[in-house]
Chain A
């Protein structure tokens, strides 16, 4: 049932990057397969809602963010903005209204700013290209306003600076100022604080949280850090190999995770391990499998300590395990709960973090 209050929804979104095969493959007309960076993602973001997208490196977080900001084209599924299909919208003039409402913040602010543009030019760029101002006075006013809101005060002092004349935190604030200068309704933030000093992180997060409070701006916060996601988000979506394995309220995902992968993620984070956890798991074994070779059945089964026969054959659908809480695992329905108490699992616990 489509929720009319959703600002954005992804419907079984797929991004497959074809793998360039060797000459041999091409001569034989054989496909070398594809990297399934996103492989059927369903996600809704409500107005003014902060959703965290959590997952290991290579799980496809950035790819999902790039689809939402129209930097990558999905190979399947749909991207709906306020119920309107934006999947195949192309060209900068057709996308202009969308760009006014959906903006992005990047992981590496140093890379995200043109080294030859001043702070003023960088922040003014969206206002100019999206034609949001009529004259220079208005432009200066909006740029100052945005820089202040991003915590760069007094704004005039920063106008003529170049990126290399700023600290890392200030650079990220400039990127944020550029994004919020257009007063968007959704911001995709791709690991916005992972490259910053711990001391600066809290301030940057505060800026983002304030935006929601003041302007009811929705935020998709991409991170690999579960405690950080819990801190900032209303809901958390856990991504594994291009597919959401669990989604629910920040508290549920953090303290009452249902999917074995989420449990393992949480267990890898000493701060939030608690006795109240539903079940204990050994720490994850092995590497994240490559998105070029997604396992058959449940994509987590080669690493899942609870895997059983069915997991190897059938991919589990997202199953409602609580209010607003979905988990893509066979366990809650297949009566496999009994396995949770099997002694071999308990004894394996000493292997965890």
Chain B
């Protein structure tokens, strides 16, 4: 009998996943977005194979600020480093920071949102006050406050989880400032879910509050979390780029924002070195736009399903 269980459930899961994918890929936006994301994920997965190790001032191969040529497809920067090399390595830094920050934000936001919505009352009031506080907190100010503390505690040269301290700060700051958005959405969805009869039934059959939150409410939040998670990534890339552009990045692990900042300081705009500004800028734009496209397509795909399975 257990064999038939496995057979049935894998078959019906496979069917559900297939219909979900075909719905999702029906969106032109999703196709474009996913294509773009796959491209950048490949770049960030194997940068060394594609463009060799990250170039430094010492290993720079070209002249200063050379426009794109067959030798340097995206030109060079002010110390002669290949911009293509920098941008491909930057993809890895930017995407990793954005994705990890999103994980922090989704975990914190979902936990706070479910607890506030499920318990209601005073718990809800206080958690939502906290959420509002973080919702309006400007990430730049927070970064300015946290950076010196972390640098002081950790020391400038150390790495935390493979990140230089300033990147770690950016990661944490984005996580801290973006979970409130997730918490609000999760809370409002939880408020409506907990009125559903299956929650009453779960109580009658003796399920604990924790088990109701984890086994009944959370699985029904997956659509919202997935769709908004994609938007959070887009926002994280944007914030990471701006924080790095403002000089909070680390030149030894340059993200796209750091490259923009370096280009700005090298006077790329005034000297007409468009490739130096344009390459990282367009990449950041393309990736966050792709995540928005995928997020919207996910939202669209999940919504009619919500109508079918209320």
Contacts and interface: CB of A to CB of B under 8 A. Distances in A.
Contacts of A99: 204-206
A203 interface: no
A149 interface: no
The secondary structure that dominates the B interface is: helix
Contacts of B4: 156-157, 159-160
Interface in B1-54: 1-2, 4-5, 8-9, 12
Nearest to A100: B206
A118 B206 contact: no
B198 interface: yes
A96 B208 CA distance: 10
A79 B219 CA distance: 35
Contact of A126 (B9, B206, B215): B206
Given A129-B211, A156-B5, A96 B12 contact: no
B194 interface: no
Given A125-B205, A129-B205, A120 B5 contact: yes
Contact of A96 (B9, B198, B206): B206
Interface size class of A (residues with CB under 8 A): 35 or more
> Which of A108, A125, A178, A179 has the most chain B CB within a 10 Å cutoff?
A125
A108 B197 contact: yes
Given A71-B200, A118-B9, A95 B206 contact: yes
A160 to B, nearest CB: 3
A118 B215 CA distance: 12
Nearest to B4: A156
B104 interface: no
Interface in A94-138: 95-96, 99-100, 103-104, 106, 108, 110-118, 120, 125-126, 129-130
B206 A114 contact: no
Which size class do B's interface residues fall under? 20 to 34
Contacts of B219: 114, 116
**Majority secondary structure of chain A interface residues (helix, strand, loop or mixed):** helix
B201 A129 contact: no
Interface string A204-238: 00000000000000000000000000000000000
Nearest to A175: B201
A293 interface: no
Interface string A25-54: 000000000000000000000000000000
A56 B30 CA distance: 51
A108 B310 CA distance: 12
A125 B203 CA distance: 10
B215 to A, nearest CB: 8
Interface in B204-239: 204-209, 211, 215-216, 219-220
Contacts, number: 95
Nearest to B196: A111
Contacts of A339: none
A92 interface: yes
A115 B5 contact: no
A13 B296 CA distance: 51
B185 interface: no
Interface in A50-95: 66, 69-71, 92-93, 95
B202 interface: yes
A201 interface: no
A314 interface: no
Nearest to B11: A160
A91 to B, nearest CB: 9
A193 interface: no
Contacts of B203: 70-71, 92
A184 to B, nearest CB: 10
A163 B196 CA distance: 15
B16 to A, nearest CB: 8
Q: Which 4 A-B pairs rank lowest in CB-CB distance, beginning with the nearest?
A: A160-B8, A126-B205, A111-B197, A160-B9
Interface of A: 66, 69-71, 92-93, 95-96, 99-100, 103-104, 106, 108, 110-118, 120, 125-126, 129-130, 140, 144, 156-157, 159-165, 175, 178-179, 182
17 contacts: A70-B203, A70-B204, A71-B200, A92-B206, A104-B201, A104-B204, A108-B197, A111-B310, A112-B200, A112-B201, A114-B219, A126-B205, A159-B5, A160-B9, A160-B12, A162-B12, A179-B205
Given A70-B204, A114-B198, A114-B220, 16 more contacts: A69-B204, A71-B203, A92-B207, A104-B201, A111-B310, A114-B216, A116-B219, A120-B5, A125-B202, A126-B205, A129-B206, A130-B205, A130-B206, A140-B2, A156-B5, A160-B4
